[in-house]
Amino acid sequence: MEKILVIGAAGQLGSELTKSLSDIYGGDRVIATDLNESARSKFDYCQFEVLDIMDQAKAKELIQKENVKQVYHLAAVLSATGEQKPLFAWNLNMDSLLFVLEMAREFKMEKVYWPSSIAVFGPNTPKINTPQYCVKEPNTVYGISKQAGERWCEYYFQKYGVDVRSLRYPGLIGYKSLPGGGTTDYAVDIYHKVLAGEKFSCFLREDSSLPMMYMPDAIKATLDLMHAPAESVKIRSSYNLAGMSFTPKDIYESILKYHPSFEIEYNPDFRQGIADSWPDSVDDSCARADWGWKPDFGLDEMTKDILENLPNYSF
């Protein structure tokens, strides 16, 4: 049986994407992997293996033994954590991608998915409606690794015909897992504080606008891209992808509609500098034209959905 391998499956994106893949292909075709045994309990619907993707011998053995034909490579050190451990972030983000691309070439895999990020942009990028093609001078190690990764993806497609596909996600907001050390984490944490009845301390300024996306839209975009005919996928570095753009003040005001006594204070830290280097909004017309991308959720729809569902969700 041909299998689909998800690397870094227990994270914010993987927890939801792995379930969707299992629903589509069947749990017996999906192998969820992550660093720790403790993640196993999340994956009672599919196969789970402990795997550090830096252990390339073990990863290669698994790929061969299980006849892996598709990889979703989600493991990475994210933007805020990357600034604390730059060389570790670079090594993990780059070595693991190059390894996955090599495996795809060697074993003639069908497809590879690897997420990029709006972090590929930098302070000299146009901030409003950032185009697909423009100046990119990222100033975080995370952004540099994503930009280099995009170049490698395109290289493997052009040189070796590896069918690798990628999206530049904006900040992802979901309620089914906790965020993993990014600059947009505040927009997840804020909903937990509302429901705990606590005041929220925001690490960004109230007017700091960033591109964001509700997780169901991110899953839809990922699967739509991966299911598109190869000839429709015209960009092999990574597609701009937009859902909504908002500031901390906007999300606070959206929450006030349901919890009028909720309080917020703004205490910007080093993550403000990262946010300032990223776009306010992104032009995703190539994704719309090439494979029909269209988001479903705006800010108020997302707030309503999270506030209704988060209280019933256990971690």
Task: Kindly tell me which of 12 and 70 has the beta carbon lying closer to ligand NAD.
Answer: 12
Catalytic residues: 142
Query: And the tokens for 11?
Result: 């994270």
**What minimum distance in Å lies between the beta carbon of 291 and ligand NAD?**
19
**What minimum distance in Å lies between the beta carbon of 256 and ligand NAD?**
24
Chain residue whose CB lies nearest ligand NAD: 11
Task: Kindly tell me which of 178 and 228 has the beta carbon lying closer to ligand NAD.
Answer: 178
**What minimum distance in Å lies between the beta carbon of 261 and ligand NAD?**
29
Q: What is the DSSP string of 97-114?
A: HHHHHHHHHHTT-SEEE-
| 160 CB-contact burial (10 Å; exposed 0-12 / middle 13-18 / buried 19+) | middle
Query: What is the Cα–Cα distance from 111 to 6, expressed in whole angstroms?
Result: 12
Is 282 in a helix, a strand, or coil?
A: strand
Task: Kindly tell me which of 49 and 154 has the beta carbon lying closer to ligand NAD.
Answer: 49
Task: Kindly tell me which of 16 and 250 has the beta carbon lying closer to ligand NAD.
Answer: 16
Query: What is the Cα–Cα distance from 172 to 214, expressed in whole angstroms?
Result: 6
**What minimum distance in Å lies between the beta carbon of 234 and ligand NAD?**
21
Q: How far is CA 249 from the centre of its chain?
A: 24
Is 72 in a helix, a strand, or coil?
A: strand
By DSSP bridging, strand 116-117 and strand 244-246 are unpaired
Task: Kindly tell me which of 55 and 269 has the beta carbon lying closer to ligand NAD.
Answer: 55
**What minimum distance in Å lies between the beta carbon of 183 and ligand NAD?**
8
Give the residues lining the site for ligand NAD (CB under 6 A).
Answer: 7-8, 10-14, 34-35, 51-54, 74-76, 78, 92, 115, 117, 169, 171-172, 180, 182, 184
Whether 94 and 148 have beta carbons less than 8 Å apart is answered as yes
Query: What is the Cα–Cα distance from 92 to 76, expressed in whole angstroms?
Result: 7
